[in-house]
């Protein structure tokens, strides 16, 4: 990691020394938003998660820059792009955040809501500027060299199936259940693959691709750019494959991207989305096959987290608050 130098040089610290700070941030957000599970108030749940995560990050050792965060897309006044967090005593680092991934899952008490964050070395996390949405492909390591966002979905299915040693009919694909994906879902089904269609939560879908125990082979479709960058941190750490391309959903977003000098045609690979050492952390909010929800026990609140770092996946059960 780069050293931060102001009046005097600071000691270089490995990015992975910040893992405890990241875990504290996601578990604080998860516990805060859990109070809103099933209350049908997405904004309140997201605000609770964002406030708690920001407060936790204020104690992180060092100086962190929010490269991609809440901001205008989620009408959030905190953890916006460019905000500085941390106590200033330690290394510089970049962060990408989604304090509550799957706000509708939380509001409706459905499985899949997560508090998520990625930490990276300074300058390594890609900033999408005014781009809020991106088209994505995520695959396991065995298929990382065969994907191309310019391929039609039918061709992608054939190539991924061959790389995984399967038939297309054996593939399980995650595509979010959004109006924009109606045709994509229909084409994948006609090609013979099975399709999981969660209402949201493409970070969770991407993690299902990366973790063999969850029996998913491929993620396709358009999701948020914060989720894309955090996904890329997990994909890179585990050697998977990912491609992304900005996919504005409104004319105003497309105009802002062009005005910023960014291309709507460029395809970014995983090493461009996350260009250096990074790690990913998630904590469960509403439960599900990936992570359980926070729970009370012996006067404490227990949370379940996932840490993806340096080719390893660690499942952590910890006390959120004493």
> Binding residue per annotation — 101?
yes
In the three-class reduction of DSSP (H, G, I as helix; E, B as strand; rest coil), residue 309 is classed as: strand
46 is in an annotated binding site: yes
Question: Was 162 annotated as part of a binding site?
Answer: no
Contact in structure between 98 and 26 (CB atoms under 8 Å)? no
| Distance, CA of 139 to CA of 235 (rounded, Å) | 9
Residues 6+ apart with CB under 8 A from 44: 36
Give the separation between CA 77 and CA 72, rounded to whole angstroms: 8
b/e 114-139 (16+ beta carbons within 10 angstroms → b): bbbbbbbbbebbbbbbbbbbbbbbbb
What span, in angstroms and rounded, lies between the C-alpha atoms of 316 and 131? 33
Which residues, including other chains, have CB under 8 Å from residue 319's CB and lie 6 or more apart?
300, 301, 302, 303
Annotated binding site: 46, 70, 98, 101, 227
Annotated binding site for Mn(2+): 46, 70, 98, 101, 227
């Amino acid at each position: 990691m780069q050293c931060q130098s102001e009046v005097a040089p600071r000691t270089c610290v490995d990015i992975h020394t910040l893992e405890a700070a990241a875990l504290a941030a996601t578990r604080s957000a998860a516990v805060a938003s859990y109070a809103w599970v099933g209350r049908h108030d997405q904004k309140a749940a997201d605000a609770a998660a964002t406030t708690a995560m920001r407060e936790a990050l204020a104690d992180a050792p060092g100086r962190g820059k929010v490269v991609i965060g809440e901001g205008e897309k989620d009408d959030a006044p905190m953890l916006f792009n460019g905000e500085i967090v941390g106590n200033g005593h330690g290394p510089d680092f970049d962060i990408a955040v989604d304090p509550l991934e799957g706000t509708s899952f939380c509001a409706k008490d459905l499985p899949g809501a997560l508090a998520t964050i990625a930490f990276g070395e300074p300058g390594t996390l890609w900033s999408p500027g005014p781009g809020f949405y991106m088209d994505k492909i995520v695959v396991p390591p065995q298929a990382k060299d065969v994907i191309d966002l310019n391929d039609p979905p039918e061709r992608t299915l054939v190539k991924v199936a061959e790389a995984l040693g399967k038939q297309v009919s054996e593939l399980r694909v995650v595509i979010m259940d959004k109006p924009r994906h109606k045709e994509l879902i229909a084409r994948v089904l006609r090609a013979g693959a099975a399709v999981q269609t969660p209402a949201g939560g493409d970070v969770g879908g991407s993690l299902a691709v990366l973790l063999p125990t969850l029996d998913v082979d491929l993620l396709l479709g358009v999701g948020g750019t914060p989720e894309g960058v955090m996904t890329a941190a997990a994909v890179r750490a585990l050697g998977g494959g990912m491609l992304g391309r900005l996919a504005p959903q409104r004319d105003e977003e497309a105009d802002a991207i062009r005005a910023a000098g960014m291309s709507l045609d460029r395809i970014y690979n995983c090493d461009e989305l996350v260009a250096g050492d990074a790690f990913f952390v998630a904590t469960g909010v509403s439960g599900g096959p990936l992570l359980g929800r926070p729970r009370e026990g012996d006067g404490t609140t227990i949370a379940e987290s996932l840490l993806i770092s340096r080719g390893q996946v660690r499942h952590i059960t910890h006390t959120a608050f004493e």
